[in-house]
Structure 1
Amino acid sequence: MSLHLRRIAAIAGTVALMGLGGTGTGTAQAQQQVELISGPFGTGSYVLSTALEQIVNGEDDGLSLTASETPGLTFNARSLIKDPGRQVNTIMSFTSGINYLAVEGLAPFPEALPSAKLIANYNLGAVWLATFDPDIKTLEDLKGKRVALGTPPQILWTIEPLAIIRDGWGMEGDLKIETIGTKEAAQALLNGTVDVAIIGGYANPETGQFLPSPQTVELQASGRTLYHISWGPDAVAKARDASGMPLISAKVPAGAVEGLETELDTFYDAIGWQAYPDLDEETAYKVTKAIIANVGKFSEYHALGKLMSPSALLYGWDAEDIHPGALRAYREAGLIK
């Protein structure tokens, strides 16, 4: 199926599910056009962005928002920097971690880029290490062990964990790191070709709700006992200070995944909608206001939407890193001073 036909099918399905046939009042000519570039078809970023399109276009606020599929979140920043004229009316799916790489000019970005600003989080990703070996309990036990992470470009599943291993634990040369991919890491742990693998999922820090990632669910379904290895709050802080990465200290509640009997110290990477400072302030304000007012509706489109709540929309962000228009909406809602 072509991209165009897939997009029509996805939007039609969403409209049928929600019972929404219109796109708000006013004519297209009178509305301000807003572009929302999301992520690959079928991903959480794509589906939640399509949901935001329906929500914004159902508001009587003079905006017409169009969400579109893209190859990925790194592509989003590159495309807006290549065509800066689009920045005035374009929002993108992005993460705080990828923004860090862009600002620092680190791979996969060939040169430093301006910093994007928050519109709203829709996910907070958390990862840590796990094993089937009950004898691996301490950092000393990890020495010499085979540890599987995601692929090198993945910020949450590879780059940020490597920063903690290097700068937080000081164990860069003590582990046999394999960067093979998230699904592959889980399979390698199941097959016994590695001793430890990266697992995790997505959280709402306000409610404590946690949704395990697909490969984490696969490991839980094996029927074998998982043993979880905390990064430790001090290690997260050390890595944040040494690298400058936006690692948000976090705790995953006991019982969030199989075998997790006590609260686990980890970190969040904020995943959401961001924009460059040139985005029209009134546009940012109206879109953010619509997100706040309708935050409960996102759960009707995707399971990850169940993790969205008013306070989670800006969790982990300082006021100076939020787009001015979005900041105005959050202040009006009493979510930030």
Structure 2
Amino acid sequence: MTRVKAVALAAVAAGLVAGPVRTAQALEPVPVLLCPFGCGLTESETILMNQMLTSGAKVALLPQETPGYMFNIQEMANKAKWKKFLFGTEDTIIQLAFQGGSPELKEFLPKPVKIPFKLLYGEGWWGQGKFLATFNCNLKTMADLKGKRISLGLRGQSDWGVFARLFLEHAYGITPKNSDIRHMTPAQLTQQLIDGVTDASVTPVGTEPNLKAFLLPGPIRQLEAASKASGKKLCYIGVTKEDVDKVNKKFGTTFLHVTLPAGTLPG
């Protein structure tokens, strides 16, 4: 049985550029740029919005679907949005944004984004993009995926799409030239794995800073249901601490290596 042994995590946060949101006596709408539907944050921010309204907050968060956090970081460079918008982002995206336009990142981030920002609140810690799910349990390591069909998130998505590409290429030598790498939405890539038209796909898992409670979002629950219905075992392919260190050293990032307790993920 192959279980995820190690997951590299990035802290997800909402960042506001150049100062706090302007408040007013009346309820003020504040758009929050997030990610494609199914990424998890659109749902959690809607819950937060409702909780804030119930508690009498003067600000109404308005979650907005976007192509992802790589899109958001470029929007953070748009001064016209600094006073009115919040931006979903991650610590590792801020780090990578300074390297935009480099050979390794120009596909996802054509230009560097070097901006001041203020961290307002944290959402959680997410592991997607640093491990993959599969119904082919003969695939034991990331290196086994060379030449295989791999379904990832959009190029505009950080952990679902870009981080997975960085780990596959710079830790394992797996690229679009030697493997069938597809970029699509969370719903599409999950369905591809269920339908058997891909060998492995990104799937999400979240946790909090103490790494005690874990969140299993919709896509992994879909895979769990498909596994039970088909009788196919759901397995996971993780990354090693050495490979996390390798990526961190190359890009100056702060991905964390975490070993999930047995039984955390279904399968």
**Paired position in structure 2 for 1:28:** 25
Distance 1:74 1:139 in 2: 24
Instruction: Provide the C-alpha distance between the structure 1 equivalents of 2:115 and 2:50, rounded to a whole number of angstroms.
Output: 28
When the two structures are aligned, how many residues end up with a matched partner?
Answer: 224
**1:232-251 → structure 2 map (5 Å cutoff):** 232-251=240-259
SS of 1:135 mapped into structure 2? coil
Does structure 1 residue 93 correspond to structure 2 residue 92?
no
Partner Cα distance (1:197, 1:85) in 2: 34
How do residues 37-76 of structure 1 correspond to structure 2 at under 5 angstroms?
Answer: 37-39=31-33, 43-44=42-43, 46-51=45-50, 53-54=52-53, 57=56, 64-72=58-66
Q: How many Å separate the matches in 1 of 2:71 and 2:181?
A: 27
Deviations 1:156-177 (A, max 9, x none): 1111011111112233355332
Map of 2:203 onto structure 1: 199
Structure 1 distance, partners of 2:77, 2:174, is 37
* Structure 1 residue 118, shift from structure 2 partner: 2.4
1:82 aligned onto 2:78:
yes
Which residue of 1 is the match for residue 103 of structure 2?
none
User: In structure 2, which of residues 174, 178, 182 is the aligned counterpart of residue 178 of structure 1?
Assistant: 182
Per the alignment, residue 145 of structure 1 pairs with: 148
Q: Which structure's relative contact order is higher, taking Cα pairs within 8 Å and 6+ residues apart?
A: 2
Q: Against the structure 1 CA distance between its residues 151 and 74, is the aligned structure 2 distance closer, same or farther, given a 3 Å change threshold?
A: closer
Q: Distance in 1 between matches of 2:211 and 2:142?
A: 31
C-alpha distance in structure 1 between counterparts of 2:70 and 2:51, whole Å: 20
Question: Within 5 A, what are the aligned runs for 1:181-330?
Answer: 181-222=185-226, 223=228, 224-259=232-267
Structure 2: segments with no counterpart, 5+ residues: 1-23, 101-105
For the 8 Å contact 2:42–2:65, the answer to whether it is kept is no
Distance 2:145 2:30 in 1: 43
CA contact (8 A) 1:124 1:203 kept: yes
Q: Which has the higher helix share?
A: 1
Does the residue aligned with 1:219 lie in a helix, a strand or coil? helix
Q: Which residue of 2 aligns with 1:320?
A: none
Give me the whole-angstrom Cα distance separating, in 1, the residues matched to 2:143 and 2:64. 43
Q: How far apart are residue 44 of structure 1 and its match?
A: 2.9
Determine if contact 2:42/2:64 at 8 Å carries over to the other structure. Answer: no
1:169 to 165, 168, 172: 172
**Kept after mapping to 1: 8 A contact 2:133/2:237:** yes
1:194 CA drift (Å): 1.3
Q: TM-score, normalised by structure 1?
A: 0.56
Aligned residue number for residue 133 of structure 2: 130
TM-score by length of 2: 0.69
Query: RMSD over aligned Cα, in angstroms?
Result: 3.3
For residues 159 and 53 of structure 2, the distance between their equivalents in structure 1, rounded to whole angstroms, comes to 29
Distance between the aligned counterparts of 1:153 and 1:81, measured in 2?
16
Listed as ranges, the gaps of 5+ residues in structure 1 are 1-26, 59-63, 260-337
User: Contact (CA 8 Å) 2:149, 2:200: kept in 1 or not?
Assistant: yes
| Aligned match of 1:8 | none
Residue 3 of structure 1 is matched in structure 2 by none
Distance 1:142 1:81, change over 3 A: closer
Higher deviation after alignment, 205-214 or 36-45: 36-45
Opposite residue 253 of structure 1, the aligned amino acid is: P
Question: Max radius of gyration: which structure?
Answer: 1
Supply the distance in 1 between the matched residues of 2:116 and 2:259 (Cα, whole angstroms).
27
Q: Write the distance in 2 (CA, Å) between the matches of 1:28 and 1:166.
A: 51
For the residues of structure 2 that align with 1:39 and 1:215, how far apart are their CA atoms? 21
Percent identity between the two aligned chains: 21
